[in-house]
Amino acid sequence: MKNILITGGAGFIGSNIALKLVDKGFNVTVLDNLSSQIHGTDPKCTSPLYKSIIDKVVFIEGSVTSREDWENALHHQDAVIHLAAETGTGQSMYQIQRYMDVNVGGTAIMLDILANNPHHIKKVIIASSRAIYGEGKYYCKTHGIVYPTEREDRDLKNGDFSCKCPVCKKDVKLLPTSEDSKIHPTSVYGITKQNQEQMVLTVCKSLNIAAVSYRYQNVYGPGQSLTNPYTGILSIFSTRIKNNNDINIFEDGKETRDFVFIEDVAEATILGLEKDEANGQVYNVGTGVATDVVTVANTLAKYYQNDVSIQISGNYRLGDIRHNFADISKIYRELGFKPEWSFERGIHAFTAWVSHQEIPEDKYELSIEEMQNKGLYK
């Protein structure tokens, strides 16, 4: 396979994968709509992500919601890395049709073409998400391994942010989430990623096309959009700090995520393209390390040498999970993937990059106001 189509290939993850594939001798085509939420209002002039790939790939400006754009992009391709999607859990809870149209509808168009049109596609890689798990895996002293349901508004309102055993309602211990864990997303975004994964794995199998799904954890690194106030806690906090705005940490600050550096994500994704062992499989892509939000904020402030106030407010967003970090033993065992970037090393590289960027206007408060107006932020 030499000709690779990357949808969303001008985005953060896609552009990094594209450049690595070009370096390895692949011919890369990118289909991207240059969303202003990611690339700004004049992307061809100002977007560093777009500029990083434009003279190295065949670029098609178009949308995955357009059958014509899909048919044009799939012409003479050997494989698809399907990354194009609307992202962000909070925004997905009130832009429901948009998320369904792009994420589910766009994937359906691709699969419909593969099922009914002549093509040369031998493999499809789909970008799934840790969001499909909802709350991850936990251990209850009485009931063993359990998967807590969505936390109740009344508990969050009373400052009880912990996850409970769904049987006895007692507090539970966090475990790494493995690929065989229960799938029960708590946001529309998570539902769409689950649907994408299931559609690709099911349809491609019936068409004798190899398929691989990657459940990415929280991806970060140089090149991440600093203009998107809806997703990417590291970029959101960085933009606020650089604008000398205080940081408002939700809940009690002890909520955790698995932050995985962009270089590791790109390497893991390319392994799935190159290795037959990945065919038909799903993999977590993370570090296997849980890092709490207070640590994130304090580490960023340290590297930026900025003493903005970091406030733990007790505010919360409906649909947010408490914890999730990946069990990455399967991808190590089957593909030999092991993350090379620790959180400390990655944050150092990320903040060094941010410090050389023109910092955009901080629009985070507007995103919070939107959620508040919809009753999703308390």
Cβ neighbors of 11 (< 8 A, separation 6 or more) are 32, 38, 49, 83, 84
Per-residue confidence (pLDDT) for residue 229, from 0 to 100:
74
Q: Do 4 and 78 meet the contact criterion of CB atoms below 8 Å apart?
A: yes
What is the Cα 233 distance to its own chain's centre? 11
Residue 49 falls inside a structural domain: yes
Cβ atoms 126, 79 nearer than 8 A: no
Structural domains in the chain (count): 1
Q: What is the pLDDT of residue 42?
A: 85
Integer CA distances (angstroms), 80 to 3, 10, 26, 85, 108, in order: 9, 14, 13, 14, 14
Active-site residue, 214 included: no
pTM for the whole structure: 0.94
Range of the domain at 88: 3-137+176-373
Q: Catalytic pick from 99, 138, 189, 283? A: 189
pLDDT at 332: 98
**pLDDT digits over 229-246, tens only?**
777 899 999 999 999 999
Distances (CA, A) of 223 to 48, 114, 343, 375: 7, 32, 17, 32
CA dihedral 21, 23, 27, 33 (to 10 degrees): 60
| 12 inside domain | yes
pLDDT at 317: 82
CATH of the domain at 221: 3.40.50.720
Q: What is the C-alpha separation between 326 and 122, in angstroms, rounded?
A: 29
CB contact at 8 A, 287 and 259: yes
Assigned domain for 91 exists? yes
Helix (H) or strand (E) holding 352: helix 343-354
Any domain includes 158: no
Asked if residue 251 belongs to a domain, the reply is yes
Per-residue pLDDT tens digits for 125-145: 999 999 999 999 999 999 999
- For residue 331, is it within any domain? yes
The reported pLDDT for the residue numbered 179 is: 98
User: Cα–Cα distance between 112 and 203 in angstroms, integer?
Assistant: 9
Q: Is residue 161 part of a domain?
A: no
Distance (Å, rounded) from C-alpha 314 to C-alpha 356? Answer: 33
Show Cβ contacts of residue 363 under 8 Å, excluding neighbours closer than 6 positions: 227, 229
Among the listed residues 98, 96, 94, the one whose alpha carbon sits nearest the alpha carbon of residue 35: 98
Residues of the chain below pLDDT 70: none
Do the domain assignments include residue 292?
yes
